[in-house]
Amino acid sequence: MKTWREVRVMALVYLVILVLMMVPAVLVWPSLHADLQRPSAMLQAFGRMGEFLGRAVDAMRNPDEDIAYLSYMALQLFFKGANVAGIAAAVLLGTGLFAREREAMTFEFLLSRPVSRGSLLWQKVWPCALVVVLPIFVTSLVAVPMSAAIGFGLPLGPLLWCSLHNSLFVLVVLQLTVLASLQSRVQAHAAFAIGGFVIVNLALYFIPTVRVVSLFRLSDFDWYGPIMAGNRGAAELFDPLRHAGLSTWLVLALGLLYAYTHRRLTRLEL
């Protein structure tokens, strides 16, 4: 509960940011859609952001407005909103979990309590996981009635599958951040390490020839757009045998990272 008390304000702020990022996106949709029909200023601006955004914009310019709108929402909800804000929240929350205990000289006190290290790790991680995951689903669910209000019906099923995949992606980043926090004596060191890692991956993402190695490739429009538009089944995300099965790999990565963090914490000596 101590960790929850510490992160609850940040959770609220994060949720508000996500919703605030989504609401204008929905409300300006008709005029934004009209602008997108004119291949002038808007397309040039988006074009400079690379091949990824080009494909996203192409999808949004689809003559079938349902497809265009779903593509637009996929971009808004998952790539722009949850990835960016979710990673920021994960870094802010995760880097302090252990490093701040060291900085504040409370780490020895905490480790000497009559609880197992495994329990300690779980008690620290789950509130943060809840904080980064819950707003993704809440934002997605808020988008459904809002979209209905302007005459577009978002498909709930694919939306929830995409939310699940996006949650797994953000959880992997969170767990990586927790590991960095455990390895660092100062929170700033963990923040720099993870922040640097994220920036490098973002840079890689915007270079088409090396995009494939970027972490962000695991959770981008190329996955969410077709699922939201109904051109790809969400089950493909969970089928590593016949399809890419990205969600399954993320679950595996999450499990391995958690197990490794647990092992490091269990073996940690003061």
Out of 31, 40, 44, 112, the residue judged to bind another protein by CB under 8 A? 112
E strands present in the chain: none
Task: Indicate the residue type of 82.
Answer: A
In the complex with another protein, which residue's Cβ is closer, 114 or 145? 114
Out of 13, 21, 88, 111, the residue judged to bind another protein by CB under 8 A? 111
Radius of gyration of the chain (CA): 20
- Is 73 strand, coil or helix? helix
Out of 2, 8, 185, 263, the residue judged to bind another protein by CB under 8 A? 2
Site for another protein in 5-24 (CB under 8 A): 6
Does 126 help bind another protein (rule: CB under 8 A)?
no
Q: State both tokens at 92.
A: 């802010």
Q: Which of 20, 44, 254 is nearest to 129 (CA)?
A: 254
| Window of 40-48, 106-114, 125-133, 171-179 that interacts with another protein by CB under 8 A | 106-114
Q: How many Cα atoms sit within 13 Å of 109 on the Cβ side?
A: 6
Determine the Cα–Cα distance for residues 202 and 17; give it in Å rounded to an integer: 20
Out of 116, 151, 156, 188, the residue judged to bind another protein by CB under 8 A? 116
Q: How far is the CB of 185 from another protein (least distance, A)?
A: 14
Q: Which of 154, 183, 208 is nearest to 263 (CA)?
A: 183
Tokens 């990205």 locate to: 246
Q: How far is the CB of 125 from another protein (least distance, A)?
A: 18
In the complex with another protein, which residue's Cβ is closer, 38 or 113? 113
Binding site residues, another protein, CB under 8 A: 2, 6, 104-106, 108-109, 111-116, 269-270
